Amino acid sequence: MASDLVTTTGNPPRPAPAARSPIGRLLRWDVLVTALLVVVFLAGAAGSPGFADAGNLSFALGDLGEIALIALAMTLLVVAAEVDLSVASVLGLSSALLGALWDAGWAIETIIPLVVLAGAVCGLVNGLLVTRLGLPSLAVTIGTMALYRGLAYVVLGDRAVAEFPQQYTGLVTGDIPGTPVPYPVGLFVLLAIVTGVVLHATGTGRSLFAIGSQEEAAFFAGIRVKRVKLVLFVVSGLVAGFAGVVYTLRYGSARADNGFGVELAVIAAVLLGGVDFDGGKGTLGGVIAGVLLIGLLRNLLMLDDVATEIQSIVTGLLLIVSVLTPRLAAVLRRRRRAPSSPAPRSTTEEGNR
C-alpha cells in the first residue's frame, strides 16, 4: 500500500523525523502558550485584586463555556484543513429558535433537542456545499454566517425572550457541588477528554491529520475524505447549536444577536493553541491552553474596566500573532537548512576543463 501511495501521488517517501531535543520540546508552540498562560495568571494574581479569588475564576471559566465547547469541534475541522466561520451565527439562530418556541408555549424539553438538531442541519448545509460542490469552506461559511444570522432575525426579530425555567438556568449558571467549577465547564472537560482521545489516540484522529497534511494522499490511502469532512461540519453545527442553548440560558435571554463575534474568539483560541490553519498540525492541549489564555486576558481587562472594543482589539492581535509567528519561524528554519549556493567558477577554471 505504501509503495502504491508513493507511486500514485508522485512524491518520494519522507524521511523519518529526527527526535526532538529537550530544548526543542520546550520550544514547541503549545508549550510556549501554556507557559504564557501561567505567566498571565501569576501577573493577574499579583497585580489585580480579586483576580485569583474562587468566585472570579468561576465566573471567568463560566464566561468561556460556549467558546470552549465550539473550540473542540473547530479544532477537528482546522486539523483537517477546513474552517467554519458560521458557528456564532448558528449559536444566534439556535438562541432565536429557542426564544420563539418558548414564547409560543412549547415545552423546554422539546425545544432543546430541536434547537440542537437545527444546528446540526446548519452544519450539514455547510458540509454539503464544501464536499459536494467543492467550494472552499472559508467562502462558504462567510456566506452562511450572514445567512444564519439573517434567519435568526427572521425568526425572532429584535425581540428578547426571557423567563426560562429556573431549573434549566440554574443548571447552566450553577457550580458542580463542592467545587467552584460551573456545570458547562465540567461538561467541557468530559468532551475535551473524549476529543483528545479521538484526535491523538485513534485511527480517526490520524485520518484527520492525514487529510490536513495531504488530502490527495489520504484519499488514495483509503480515507473517505468527503465523508469525514461532512461529519466534521455536522458536528460543528451541532455543538454550536448546543452552545446557543447554553448561552441563552446562562444570560436568561434569547436574542437574534446572541453570540455576535464568538467565532473570532474561537478561531483565535484554536490558532493560538498551535493548530496550523493549513491543517495537519496541532494538539488539543495547546487549544485548551489558548482558550484559557484568552479567557484570563478578557477577565483581566474586564476587572480593569477596559472597554469591550479594546478587548476585541486584543483578541484580534492574538489571532494575527498566532498566524504570523509560526510562519515566520518556518521561514527561518527553511533558510537555516537551505544549502549555501556554490561559488561561481572562474573563467580560468572553465578554460582549463
pLDDT at 307: 81
The pLDDT confidence band at residue 344, using thresholds 50, 70 and 90, is low
Query: Quick check: is 315 in a domain?
Result: no
Q: Is 124 among the domain residues?
A: yes
pLDDT for residue 15: 43
- What pLDDT shows up at residue 9? 39
56 in a domain, yes or no?
Answer: yes
In a domain, 215, yes or no: yes
Residue 97 to residue 111: CA distance in whole angstroms: 8
pLDDT digits (tens, 9 = 90+) for 260-296: 989 989 999 999 898 988 899 999 999 999 999 999 9
Confidence of residue 242 (pLDDT cuts 50, 70, 90): very high
349 — pLDDT class (breaks 50, 70, 90): very low
The pLDDT assigned to 248 comes to 96
Note down the domain range covering 96: 50-260
Residue 197, pLDDT > 80, answer yes
Please state the rounded mean pLDDT for residues 12-23. 46
Return the pLDDT at 340.
Answer: 52
Residue 329 lies in a domain: no
Does the structure show a pLDDT above 70 at 313?
A: yes
pLDDT at position 106 over 50:
yes
Which residue did the predictor score with more confidence, 48 or 162? 162
Q: Is residue 131 part of a domain?
A: yes
Structure pTM?
Answer: 0.85
> Is the per-residue pLDDT at 244 higher than 90?
yes
Give the confidence band of 175 by pLDDT, cuts at 50, 70, 90: confident
Q: Find the mean pLDDT for residues 326-336.
A: 76
Overall average pLDDT of the 89-113 stretch: 96
Report the alpha-carbon distance of residue 51 to residue 339 in Å, rounded: 51
pLDDT at 339: 62
- Is 285 a domain residue? no
How many domains does the chain contain in total?
1
Return the C-alpha cell found at 216: 490527495
Q: How confident is the model at residue 11 (pLDDT cuts 50, 70, 90)?
A: very low
Assigned domain for 26 exists: no
